[in-house]
Chain A
C-alpha cells in the first residue's frame, strides 16, 4: 500500500533502502488497474516506460544519489493531458489532436525528470482545460473517488481524482480560473496555483496565456511544497516566466504562524454559499486564530465583476490560441474544397461544444466594433480587481475564502447550463486575473453524503512560502488529511 503514502514518507523509506521505486510504482499501477475503470482519472498509462524510469531511480539510489540532489527520486508523479511529455500522447481531452505524440518535454517535465521523479500517465481533463467538472472531456467523465455519482471538479479533474484515489503520489495540473484548486477542494487534496510567472509554461498547451499556470496537486502541504520547489524558476523559453529566486519552500514550512495576518473579504460571503461549506470555512478561520494568526477584515470591492471580466479575457485569448488547431500541421484533419473549408470542417468535427462556445464568444468580443465594449473594458476591470488585492495585501499576509461555493455536484447537474457552471468559479477566478498565488486544502466534510470541503488561501505575488506555511500549520492541527474515500474500490 505504498501508493497511499506521501512523498516525504516514501522518501524516508527509499533513503533507508527499505523500499524500492519499483515497489512504489507497482503499487500505484496495481491501484490503477484495480479501480480506474470506475474513476477514469487516466486516459492512458505507459507502464513499461514508467517501469524503466523506476529502475533508473533505483540504480541512482544504489549509486548514492542523495535526496538533496534529486528531491523526487523514485516518486511517481502523474501528468495532466495538457502538458507535453516527449514520446507520450497529448490530447488535451480533445479529439482534434488525433494521435498526437509530443516531440519534446515541457520545462516542468524536464525539471521533474531531473529531480528523479517517475513521470507517468496522462490524466483526464475538460477539453483544453475549459470546464469545472471534467464532463467536457472527449474521452468520458472522471468520477469523484468520494462519490462515484459526482464530478471531481475541473478542469484538472483527473489530476485531483488520481491523487485522491491513491493512483499516484502527486500530479501536475494547470489553473486558468481555478482548475487546480477547485478539483483539489472537491476531491480532498492539496492544490496550488503559483503566481503568474513562477512556473514555466513551455510545453503547456495554451488556453488563456495571461492567466495559465502549472501547479502541483498532492496529498499534503509538504508534498505540494516539494513539487513546487522542483518545477519553479525562470525559463528563457517562456518569456512570461519571471527571474525571481526560488526559495526552499519545504525549509520554512514549520515556522510558527503567530502574528501573521489573515484577511476575510466581506464580498466573498455570497448568497449561493452552501451553509456546510460556510460553516467549515468559519471553523477553519477560528482554528487559524487559535494558532496565533490575526484575522482582519479586508475589502475586494470589484469581486462581483470578476466572472464577467474573466469570461471575456479568457475566451478572447482562447480564440487566438486555439487558432493553431487547424488540421494543417498536426492532429486530425477533415479534408475540404479549399483551406478555409478544411479549417471549418476540421474544427467543427474536432472541438467539443464547450470549446466551440468559448472560441465563438472570444471571437465575438474581439470582433470589429465590439473590442472596446468588451475586451478593453474587461482589461480595465482587471486592473481594478488586481488593485483590490494589492491594497488588501498591504494590510494582510494572505486572504482566506472557500475554494468553491458547494461540495462536488452530481454528474450532469450543470452540464447543459454553461452560465451556472461559470458562476461556480466565483472564488477562484480573481486570483488568475490578479496574477497572485492561491492554494486549496481540505477543511472538513459535508455530513451526508460525506464530501470534502476546500479552504482557499490567496497570497501576494511570489508569496507561496507564506501560503504554504499557513496551510501547513492548519493542516497539522486539523487532521483532515488522514481521512480516506470510504467507497474507494
Chain B
C-alpha cells in the first residue's frame, strides 16, 4: 500500500467528517484493501484500451424539446430547509 495514503486528507476531499476512532480503523482496513488492489500491477496492460462501460452505445441524445419534469412542490418535498419555493442553504458568498 502506498506510504502516502492519508485517510484524513482523502476524507476531507470526499467531504466526510470522521471521528479519530474512525480514522484509525479505516486507515488500517483501507491499507489492507489497497494492498490487495496492488495485485493489478502484475498485469500487463500495455496497448489495452480502457473500458468505461459495456454498452454498445455512444453519445445518446434526444430531441431538444420540453418534456414534463418534477414540479416545484415535488422537487422541494424532501428539502431539509426551504422558503419561497427555494432550497435554503448556509451563506456561500461573503
A contacts, CB < 8 Å to B: 98-101, 103-104, 196-197, 209-210, 236, 239-240, 242, 302, 304-305, 307-309, 311-312, 319, 323, 326-333, 335-340, 342-345, 347-349, 351, 353, 356-357, 359-364, 367, 370, 374, 376-384, 386, 418-419, 422, 433-436, 461
A342 partner residues in chain B, CB cutoff 8 A: 89-90
Interchain CB contact under 8 A, B51 and A347? no
What is the chain B residue whose CB lies nearest that of A422?
B33
Q: Kindly supply a per-residue 1/0 record for chain B positions 68-94, scoring 1 wherever the CB is within 8 Å of any chain A CB and 0 otherwise.
A: 001000110111110000010111100
Q: How many B residues touch A, CB cutoff 8 Å? A: 53
Interchain CB contact under 8 A, B78 and A380? no
Contact (A384, B45) CB under 8 Å given A305-B39, A418-B33: yes
In chain B, residues 1-36, which have Cβ atoms closer than 8 Å to a Cβ of chain A? Answer: 2, 5, 7, 10-19, 22, 25-26, 29-30, 32-34, 36
> Which of A101, A335, A367 interacts with B10 by CB under 8 Å?
A367
A-B contact list, 26 entries, CB within 8 Å: A101-B77, A104-B74, A305-B40, A305-B43, A308-B37, A327-B80, A335-B90, A340-B15, A343-B15, A344-B12, A347-B14, A347-B16, A348-B16, A348-B17, A348-B18, A351-B16, A353-B25, A359-B16, A360-B7, A360-B30, A374-B40, A377-B41, A379-B51, A381-B45, A419-B33, A422-B36
Provide the bound-state CA to CA distance between A338 and B91, in Å: 7
Contact (A103, B75) CB under 8 Å given A379-B50, A381-B43: yes
Contact (A435, B74) CB under 8 Å given A344-B16, A344-B17, A380-B49: no
Provide the bound-state CA to CA distance between A304 and B33, in Å: 15
A99 partner residues in chain B, CB cutoff 8 A: 78
Minimum distance in angstroms from A176 CB to a CB of chain B: 13
Provide the bound-state CA to CA distance between A382 and B89, in Å: 41
Provide the bound-state CA to CA distance between A15 and B60, in Å: 42
Minimum distance in angstroms from A327 CB to a CB of chain B: 6
Interchain CB contact under 8 A, B80 and A331? yes
Contact (A384, B43) CB under 8 Å given A101-B77, A360-B14: yes
Provide the bound-state CA to CA distance between A197 and B58, in Å: 13
Interchain CB contact under 8 A, A331 and B22? no
Provide the bound-state CA to CA distance between A323 and B51, in Å: 23
Provide the bound-state CA to CA distance between A212 and B15, in Å: 24
Interchain CB contact under 8 A, A361 and B33? yes
A347 partner residues in chain B, CB cutoff 8 A: 14-17
Q: Do most interface residues of chain B lie in helix, strand or loop, or is the interface mixed?
A: loop
Provide the bound-state CA to CA distance between A382 and B43, in Å: 11
B50 partner residues in chain A, CB cutoff 8 A: 376, 379-380, 382-383
A353 partner residues in chain B, CB cutoff 8 A: 22, 25-26
Provide the bound-state CA to CA distance between A104 and B78, in Å: 12
Interchain CB contact under 8 A, B48 and A380? yes
Contact (A344, B15) CB under 8 Å given A101-B78, A330-B79, A383-B49: yes
Provide the bound-state CA to CA distance between A296 and B43, in Å: 27
Interchain CB contact under 8 A, A378 and B62? no
Cβ of B66 within 8 Å of any chain A Cβ, yes or no, is: no
Minimum distance in angstroms from A122 CB to a CB of chain B: 16
